[in-house]
Structure 1
Amino acid sequence: MKSAAAWVALVVASLPLFVAVSPVAQAEPHAPVIVTLGDSLTAGLGLPQSEAFPAQLQAVLKARGRDVTVIDAGVSGDTATAAAQRLDWALPDNADAVIVELGGNDALQGVPPEGTKAAIEKIIVSVQARGLPILLAGQEAPRNMGKEYVEAFSAIFRDLAERYDVIFYPFFLEGAALNAELMQPDGMHPNAKGVARIVENILPKVEELLARVAAKG
C-alpha cells in the first residue's frame, strides 16, 4: 500500500497534466458597437429618442437576435465639415463600425460639392485608419439647385464608396422621401413610421456591415 506522502506526491505530479488538458474558458463574444455619425436625420429631429434612427435600428437588430449597440452621434444642423471636425470625440474607443449619414445640410446651404466631398473623404480616411468598416449613406440635393449641382452632389457618395471600398446605400431617405404619410410636416424629416421604413430598407446593408465586423474577428 502506498503511504499518504506517496499519494500526495502522485496527485501533485499529475496537476500539470490536468491543467494542460483542461478546456480553456471561452470569452464572452463581444457585442458589436455601431456609431451613426450624421445630422438631424440621424439625431431624430422632431422625434423622441426612442423613435430616432439609431434606436429603431438597434431595436430591429435585437429583434432579429443581434446583440448590437447603436450609438447616436447625430447633431442636427451638421454639415459634413462640422462632423469631420468633431469626429475624434464622436467615435468612442469601443466602436466597431460606423454609419455615415451626412450631406443634407450641405446641399440645403449650397455648399460646393467638392467641399462636401473633401469633408466626407476626410471622415472615411480617419475611420478606416482605426480599422473600422463603414456604411456610407448617400443624399440627394434639392432639384431647385439645378441639374449640374444635383448630379455633382449625387456623384460624391458613389465615387467615395468605390474609391475606399465602403458599403454604399445610395439614398438614406429611400422609401420615405416625398411620402406625406412618412414625413413630418416640414417635408424634410421622417416621422416615426418613416424612420421605420428607412430602417427596413437599409437593413441588408447594415447586415453587410456587421459581416465585415465579424470578418475582422
Structure 2
Amino acid sequence: MKKIIYGLFFGDSITYGEYDGVFGGWVDILKRYALQRFHEGNGDELILFNLGIGGESTEGLMKRLPYELSARNSADGNLVFLAYGANDLAIKDGAYIISPEIFKSNMEAAIRQTKQFSNDIYLVSILPVSKKIDGVVVGSGKLRTNEEVVVYNQILKGLAANYSLIYIDFYTAFLEDKELLLSADGVHPNEKGYGMMAEIALPIIEKYL
C-alpha cells in the first residue's frame, strides 16, 4: 500500500518564492515534480506544503510552528525544512531583528518541537547577498552584510551537527555566481537562482518518492 508523506517547508519570502514570476520559487518547482511523479504511478505520494511567509523571522516561526505541525501531520511520516535567518540577521535602527544568540535559541526550540513530529529535518542555509547591497541600508530600512550571513550560517551548521540533521548548503552553491543568481533587490534569487535551489534539493525529495 502506498504511503502519503507530507513535506513542510517553513521559511520567509525565499521559501515562498517571491520575485519568481516564472516558476514560483524552488519549493513550488519541487511540489510540481512530486505531483508529476505521483501521476506517473511511481512510488509513494509526497505532498509538499509551501509555508513560507514574506518577512518572517524565527520569532514568527515560534508562534506558528506547533499549530502548523499539528495541522499537517501524516500518519505515514513527515519531512520538515526550516529555512530562516535572512530576516533575523538584518539590522534595523542599529539593532539586529533577531540577534545571533536568540536566533540560535529559537532554532533549537524549533528543532526540538519538530522532532516530536519528524526525524527527517533539514536546515536550509542563508543565501549570500549581492555586493551592491552588502552593508547598505535599503528602502525598507534594513541593512544586511555577507559577514553576518556567514555568522548565522555557522549557527545553522552547528545545530545540524549537534542534532544530526542535514544542512542544505545553498550558500556555497550561490557564492561564486551570486550576481547572476540573485534578483535586482540583491536578496531574493531570480528564476535561475530558484531553479538551481530546486536542483540541489531534488535528490532529497527523490528519497521519499
CA offsets, 1:24-71, max 9 Å, x none? xxxx31122100000000111233595222210122344555632110
Q: Does 1:128 align with 2:128?
A: no
Confirm or deny: 8 A CA contact 2:12 2:53 kept in the other structure. yes
Q: Give the SS at the match of 1:32.
A: strand
Distance 2:175 2:128 in 1: 15
Q: CA RMSD in A?
A: 2.9
- Give the counterpart of 1:54 among 20, 23, 27: 27
**Which whole-Å CA distance do the structure 1 matches of 2:192 and 2:123 have between them?**
22
Cα distance change on mapping 1:59 and 1:175 into 2, 3 Å: farther
SS at match of 2:20: coil
Structure number with higher helix proportion: 1
Q: Compare relative contact order (CA 8 Å, sep 6+) and give the higher one, 1 or 2.
A: 2
Cα 1:82/1:93, change in 2 over 3 Å: same
Structure 1 stretches of at least 4 aligned residues deviating more than 4 Å after TM superposition: 62-66, 140-143, 145-151
Q: Residue in 2 aligned with 1:21?
A: none
* TM-score of the aligned structures, taking structure 2 as reference length: 0.74
Q: Is the 8 A contact 1:104 1:141 kept in 2?
A: no
Rg comparison, structure with higher value: 1
Map of 2:73 onto structure 1: 93
Query: 1:186 aligns to what?
Result: 185
Further displaced range: 172-181 or 192-201? 172-181
For 1:1-217, what aligned pairs fall within 5 Å after superposition?
Answer: 28-48=1-21, 51-63=24-36, 65=42, 67-91=45-69, 92-94=72-74, 96-109=78-91, 110=96, 111-139=98-126, 144=135, 149-171=148-170, 174-175=173-174, 179-207=178-206, 210=208
User: Which residue pairs with 1:3 in the alignment?
Assistant: none
The CA distance in 1 between the partners of 2:127 and 2:15, in whole Å, is 16
Residue deviations 1:59-91 (CA, integer Å, cap 9, x gap): 234455563211011111000121121102222
> How much does 1:96 deviate?
0.8
Q: Give the whole-Å Cα distance in 2 for the aligned partners of 1:38 and 1:75.
A: 6
The 3-state SS of whatever aligns with 2:167 is: strand
SS at match of 1:35: strand
Q: Give identity over the alignment, percent.
A: 23
- Number of equivalences: 183
Distance 1:191 1:173 in 2: 17
Normalized against structure 1, the TM-score is what? 0.71
- If each structure's strand is expressed as a fraction of its own residues, which one has the higher value? 2
Q: 1:31 to 1:176 in 2, by over 3 A?
A: farther
Describe the superposition over 1:152-173 as per-residue Cα deviations: whole angstroms up to 9, x where unpaired.
Answer: 3221111100111111113368
8 Å Cα contact 2:9/2:48 also seen in 1: yes
C-alpha separation in 2, matches of 1:185 and 1:40: 15
Q: Which runs of 5+ in 2 are unaligned?
A: 136-143
